[in-house]
Chain A
Amino acid sequence: DTEVTQTPKHLVMGMTNKKSLKCEQHMGHRAMYWYKQKAKKPPELMFVYSYEKLSINESVPSRFSPECPNSSLLNLHLHALQPEDSALYLCASSQQRAGTGNSPLHFGNGTRLTVT
């Protein structure tokens, strides 16, 4: 088990649904991330929040909407998704900038999303 908690573990949604993925960490990390991982592929960065502000948006479609209510929580709001959006969505956090000093990324176990 990791110290980054993601809920739900699995989610099946239709293309007209609105749902949210949640991520929580209590390690005092100030950077939080959303990654998307398709089968047999490495994780792809979607969003980065640094000190609760969105610092990177990797040209992600607007049907994905991130939110960082506070330094411990990160949400990903989903609306009007397509079947090709089905993937494992990983949340991660790091104490500082990823790869800085003693600041590796710590990943959650992910939400496996299926869009029907």
Chain B
Amino acid sequence: EDKVVQSPLSLVVHEGDTVTLNCSYEVTNFRSLLWYKQEKKAPTFLFMLTSSGIEKKSGRLSSILDKKELSSILNITATQTGDSAIYLCAVAPNNAGNMLTFGGGTRLMVKP
């Protein structure tokens, strides 16, 4: 059974801090790993990673995949209160169908 585990479960930081969120996976026939941010409603797409070692970056957020270690990290620098959300990691296996396996999420709270 495919499995995605995120850590930490929750995190409280102050504005300006840098955070690193972790995602590890056990998936048969891995295709890609996706990061989402969920505030009160829809998860919004952040990154999709398919190749190991290549960093994807968008403003203060960046992510990298390590296929050897079966893991990915999401970094947020100079955190702001608007970064407070649940960050979800999901993995897509390379089989027929359209299934994503989600991790349990990391709840990030950024205090002023």
Contact = CB atoms under 8 A, between A and B. Distances in A.
A48 B99 contact: yes
Q: How big is the A interface, by class?
A: 20 to 34
B68 interface: no
Contact of A2 (B44, B88, B90): B44
Contacts, number: 68
Interface string B84-108: 0000101110000111101111000
B62 to A, nearest CB: 17
A99 B97 contact: no
B97 to A, nearest CB: 5
Contact of B45 (A48, A106, A108, A110): A106
A31 B92 CA distance: 14
B42 A108 contact: yes
A90 B45 contact: no
B110 interface: no
Interface of A: 2, 4, 31, 33, 41-45, 48, 50, 55-56, 90, 94, 97-100, 102, 104-110
